[in-house]
Amino acid sequence: MATPLANEEHDRMYKTLGGKPVHQTLATHWARLVEILYAAERWVELASDPEVTGPDYRVVPSHTPDEGVGVVEAPRGTLYHHYKTDKRGIVQEVNLIVGTTNNNAAINLSVKKAAMNFIKKGHVTDGLLNIVEMAFRAYDPCFGCATHAWPGQAAIHIRILDREGNIVRDLRR
C-alpha cells in the first residue's frame, strides 16, 4: 500500500491469513478496512497538497454539461455512472453498472459453495441460511441497507436439488 498505516495493516492481514493469495471469501471485509485506511491517509495527503487544492487547479464550469461519466470504488465494488441531460440540465438518460452486477458470477459461486457445504440432506435452519447469506454479503455489504434487510432478514430463495436436478425442497424467507 502506498501509505504507511495502510501498508502496515496490509502486511499484518496477509501475515495473519497465511500469506498470498488469500482464498477466504470473508477476508474481503478485512481488505476493505485496509483500503478505507489507505483512502483516509491519501485524502489527508491530497487535501494538504497546495498543488492539488490551489486556486490554479479549480475549474469553474462555463456552461451546463450535457453528458457525464463517473467511476467510483465503493464497498460493494466498482460503480459506473453515465448521465445525459437536456439543455436545462434535467437528466434524460442514466446508465448505472453497480458492483453487484460486476460481482454476480463470484457471488453465485460463493453462495452455491456455501449452500452445498452447509445444507445437508435437506436440513435447513435459520442459522444455515444466515451462513449462506454471509457468502453473498462478503461481496455486497451494502445490500442490506439498500434493501432495508438486516442480516437474517434478507429475502432468500433456496432450491434444494437431488442428484438428478429435481427440486426436493423449495425454501423462501
Q: In the structure, what pLDDT confidence band is assigned to residue 92 with cuts at 50, 70 and 90? A: very high
> Is residue 106 predicted with pLDDT exceeding 80?
yes
Beta strands in the chain (DSSP E): 67-74, 77-85, 91-97, 157-161, 167-172
Report the pLDDT value the prediction gives residue 83, as an integer from 0 to 100: 96
Question: What average pLDDT does the segment 45-50 reach?
Answer: 92
Enumerate the domain spans of the chain. 4-53, 61-98, 103-172
Report the pLDDT value the prediction gives residue 95, as an integer from 0 to 100: 95
Specify whether the CB–CB gap between 74 and 65 falls below 8 A.
no
The pLDDT tens digits of the residues spanning 116-152 come to 888 888 788 878 888 888 888 888 776 666 666 666 6
From 19-23, 61-65, 95-99, 101-105, the region with the lowest mean pLDDT: 61-65
Largest CA distance in the chain: 68
Report the pLDDT value the prediction gives residue 146, as an integer from 0 to 100: 63
Report the pLDDT value the prediction gives residue 77, as an integer from 0 to 100: 78
Instruction: List b or e across 49-80, with b for residues whose CB sees 16 or more CB atoms inside 10 angstroms.
Output: eeeeeeeeeeeeeeeeeeeeeeeeeeebbebe
SS3 state of residue 63: coil
Report the pLDDT value the prediction gives residue 148, as an integer from 0 to 100: 63
Report the pLDDT value the prediction gives residue 53, as an integer from 0 to 100: 86
The pLDDT tens digits of the residues spanning 67-85 come to 999 998 877 778 899 999 9
Distance between CA atoms of 168 and 173, rounded to whole angstroms?
17
